[in-house]
Amino acid sequence: MIKKNSVENFTIHTIGVIRSCFVEKFGIPRQPGLAPSACAEIELVEPYNRQEMVQGLERFSHIWIQFLFHETLSEGWKATVRPPRLGGNRRMGVFATRSPHRPNHLGLSAVRLLGIKTGDDRVRLELGGVDLLDGTPVVDIKPYIPYADCLKDASAGWLSDDFIKISVEFLHEPAEFCREYERTTGRKLARLIEEILEQDPRPASQRDRKHHFGMMLWEVNVRWKIDKERCVVTACQTLEENG
Amino acid sequence: MIKKNSVENFTIHTIGVIRSCFVEKFGIPRQPGLAPSACAEIELVEPYNRQEMVQGLERFSHIWIQFLFHETLSEGWKATVRPPRLGGNRRMGVFATRSPHRPNHLGLSAVRLLGIKTGDDRVRLELGGVDLLDGTPVVDIKPYIPYADCLKDASAGWLSDDFIKISVEFLHEPAEFCREYERTTGRKLARLIEEILEQDPRPASQRDRKHHFGMMLWEVNVRWKIDKERCVVTACQTLEENG
């Protein structure tokens, strides 16, 4: 049970933990749904690892994950931030953004619910289209209710959804690596890399001065080069090979 | 800044407080947006009462309010609940519902942002279509981002949006009261009462055995009787007159 410490402070608990393809922050899509192949699991923790607590949830196509931006906890919050979608050079109030540098560091993502696995005292929810870092503490799960949550007359302020996707190509070797990886793990790595890179994950500050980038997806180190609107995946290696 | 007490516990703070027409739980719509005339304000508390923290938010039509169901904190959480929309006789896992009796007691509502008032060290957001109790502690405010939040292909599980509205009539005296109240306060009381009652706020357990009900909206005691699908507002009185 939640404890009310004072008028203004509340203690909340982790109810589950995210296991995700995103093992580092760089490369994570800026909102859920942008990379449909980005998969994750929530594993519920004690005492919430009971099948009955999610009974009926399997009938919803999408769910809300409320979580903590645990990697920015130590950095604290900021009154204003520079959103990447504004080119990184205009300040907005933090409450006018979805930045992790917010008071209470609460995150909110609507994701696809692919399935629920139970057994051996474990309850795991399989998710698609995530923007969640591996190890993220989950503090609530709710059904996505279209009539209350999908506001068809909402307008998006300074955000627009017509951002430009960049084209993504693979060199022969990483393309081969992805095929073999998918064959042995079932993970659609090539499609996932495409979905991530076509949105150009570079911070605005690096766009003019850096051309080679890398990120980790699961245990795979992915490297690419980028020039104007053209992106080429140059290498994919597992951490073992790489080290 | 948020403090990490241990692996699993986090302390969160109130960033604002709700001032709402709903001064008691009975009568509150079961989701936001169902009663568009239901108005509220968030007043930001120190050290978050700074205009710059909401700069840019005025360009969004809707915002997310993350809050605590403070009135159910002392009741704790339940593994399963009986949702009113299922007639109150079927159990669902609490994570498959939006019930307040959930671990961490976190609530989530998308509401219309009508305006932002600043001045005298106060920052107030004016909201429409709320389902929020007066005094609710707010723990986060985020812009509603249509491309990430409005999922047009989401399916609603056991919920459907084609619930039946009941018809609402006013006796002469409460109708007169509402006209006078609106004239002096600017609050559209009659329309708000209609929006609330046409959704039938009675708990399922009371539908067959009780016919007279009352609720408080601001300082007004509203009374009505209900018989099958017909509802008649029988009295509206301010607390002073009433007491």
A66 and chain B in contact, CB less than 8 A: yes
Cβ pair B169, A161 in contact under 8 A = no
pTM: 0.89
pLDDT value at residue B3: 44
Nearest chain A residue (CA) to B54? A93
Determine the distance in angstroms separating the CA of B5 from the nearest CA of chain A, rounded to an integer: 9
Least trusted range by pLDDT, from A66-80, B104-118, B193-207 = B193-207
Residue A79 belongs to what domain range? 3-149
Q: Distance between CA B95 and CA B81 in Å, rounded? A: 9
Cβ pair B106, B53 in contact under 8 A = no
What CATH code is carried by the domain that includes residue B224? 3.30.2310.20
Q: Among the residues of A88-171, which ranges form H helices?
A: 146-149
Structure tokens of B230?
């017909």
Which of A12, A68, A91 best tests the B interface by mutation, with the highest count of B CBs <10 A? A12
* A145-165 pLDDT tens trace: 998 999 988 887 666 656 678
Is there a domain that residue A73 lies in? yes
What CATH code is carried by the domain that includes residue A138? 2.40.30.70
The conformation of residue B203, written as its DSSP 8-state character, comes to -
* A224-234 pLDDT tens trace: 999 877 899 99
Confidence of residue A104 (pLDDT cuts 50, 70, 90): very high
The answer on B200 and B144 residing in a single domain is no
Given a cut of 90, whether residue B138 has pLDDT beyond it is yes
The answer on A207 and A144 residing in a single domain is no
Q: Closest Cα to residue A164, out of A236, A93, A85?
A: A85
Beta bridge partners of B106: B68
pLDDT value at residue A159: 67
Tell me what the pLDDT averaged over chain A comes to: 89
Q: Which of residues 94-123 of A touch B (CB under 8 A)?
A: 94-98, 102-106, 108-110
Given a cut of 50, whether residue B4 has pLDDT beyond it is no
Given a cut of 60, whether residue B107 has pLDDT beyond it is yes
Rounded-to-10 torsion of CA B71, B76, B78, B84: -10
* B164-181 pLDDT tens trace: 788 999 999 999 999 999
pLDDT value at residue B156: 76
| The dihedral sign for the CA sequence B145, B147, B150, B155 | negative
Q: 3-class SS at A59?
A: helix
The DSSP element (H or E) to which B101 belongs, if any, is: none
- Mean pLDDT of all residues in A64-74: 94
Q: 3-class SS at B149?
A: helix
A46 and chain B in contact, CB less than 8 A: no
Given a cut of 80, whether residue A216 has pLDDT beyond it is yes
The total of structural domains in chain A comes to 2
The answer on A175 and A145 residing in a single domain is no
